[in-house]
Amino acid sequence: MSFSIATWNINSVRLRMPIVERLLDEYAPDVLCLQETKVPDELFPEKAFRKVGYPYIAFHGQKGYHGVATVARRPIEVVEKRRFCDIEDSRHLSVTVQAGVKTILVHNFYVPAGGDEPDPEINRKFRHKLDFVAEMNAIRAEHGEVSASVLVGDLNIAPLEHDVWSHKQLLNVVSHTPVETESFEAMRRAGGWVDLMRHNVPSEQKLYTWWSYRAQDWEASNRGRRLDHVWSSANLVPSFAGYEILRAARGWDRPSDHVPVIARFDLG
DNA sequence: ATGGTAGAACATCTA
């Protein structure tokens, strides 16, 4: 059987419902993980999701900022809403879903952006980001005969040279500084996670999932970064059937600055 | 080196 999962930072789920519905209608992922929902749980637009065939909904939101939600066409069970760095921010949600013979544990993350100044001594937001990534070392790619793990989300770090439009020009820009990219890759490997978007993609190929709102013409300047990620436990790699970065969604009406990434698996 | 946009919520914070 086929299983697909999408991740998308939508920068306000309520404002973005029209294009979220477009994604679900055109691509029909089994599971959609959203970040920056910017809505408290009691105001989450559950009805709109139910109406378009996504009645299974889990959220971890708060007023105004951050917030993650995972919606699905088939049942999901909430496992955890983990708190990081002893701060009440809503930045994590894990659920399980059945896919073929396997139970998949799906982590949905929204890692702190980290502010502008890449010095943890001066900028508490950057300190928070580094601490958050360090704490993510505890999130392991649990797997067994009939279980596997997936970790998706806006991780706000572009780890490789060609995950940004200019490696040299972004070395001192938050999201691509060596202290971030090195601890990020170390954390990923320590957890046993496979970076599926780079699996079978040459390291010199540019990959972006985010284009700033501040560009006059995002498409012409194309100064993108790969901030959104899809990771899995190693035992899912043989079932991995490819993925798509929906670049066109950056040009949809009232877009998010991030685009969806959809990964597919063929599971027995 | 600077400033540019977007959203929540209604002054600023966050990104």
Q: What's the confidence (pLDDT) of residue A93?
A: 98
Percent helix, percent strand, percent coil in chain A, to nearest 5: 25, 30, 45
In sequence order, the 6+-apart residues with CB closer than 8 A to the CB of A225 are: A158, A163, A164, A165, A170, A175, A176, A208, A209, A210
- The 10 Å CB-count burial string (b at 16+, else e) for A183-208 is bbeebbeebbbbbbbbeeeeeeeebb
Residue among A222, A233, A216 nearest A259 (CA): A222
Spatial distance between the Cα atoms of A227 and A258, rounded to a whole number of angstroms: 8
Q: What's the confidence (pLDDT) of residue A268?
A: 76
Is A221 strand, coil or helix?
A: helix
Place of tokens 């439009």: A165
Q: How far is the CA of A268 from the C1' of B8 (A)?
A: 44
Question: ∠ at Cα A131 (A44, A136), nearest 5°?
Answer: 65
Q: Which nucleotides of B are covered by protein (CB under 7 A)?
A: 3-9, 14-15
Spatial distance between the Cα atoms of A40 and A163, rounded to a whole number of angstroms: 32
Q: How far is the CA of A211 from the C1' of B4 (A)?
A: 13
Number of Cβ atoms within 10 Å of the Cβ of A119:
13
> Which tokens is A207 given?
């990959």
Q: Residue A111, CA: closest nucleotide via C1'?
A: B15
Q: Residue A16, CA: closest nucleotide via C1'?
A: B7
Q: What is the pLDDT of residues A118-145, one digit of tens each?
A: 999 999 999 999 999 999 999 999 999 9
CATH 3.60.10.10 holds for A2-266 = yes
Beta carbon of A64 within 7 Å of strand B? yes
Number of Cβ atoms within 10 Å of the Cβ of A267:
17
Q: Residue A12, CA: closest nucleotide via C1'?
A: B7
For residue A198, CA distances in Å to A27, A95, A135, A232, A244 come to 22, 24, 24, 12, 12
Number of Cβ atoms within 10 Å of the Cβ of A214:
8
Residue among A37, A22, A26 nearest A68 (CA): A37
Q: What's the confidence (pLDDT) of residue A239?
A: 97
Q: What is the pTM of this model?
A: 0.98
Structural domain boundaries of chain A? 2-266
Nearest residue by alpha-carbon distance to C1' of B3: A214
Q: Residue A256, CA: closest nucleotide via C1'?
A: B6
Q: What's the confidence (pLDDT) of residue A94?
A: 98
In sequence order, the 6+-apart residues with CB closer than 8 A to the CB of A196 are: A230, A231, A232, A237, A240, A243, A263
Give pLDDT < 70 ranges for chain A.
none
Beta carbon of A225 within 7 Å of strand B? no
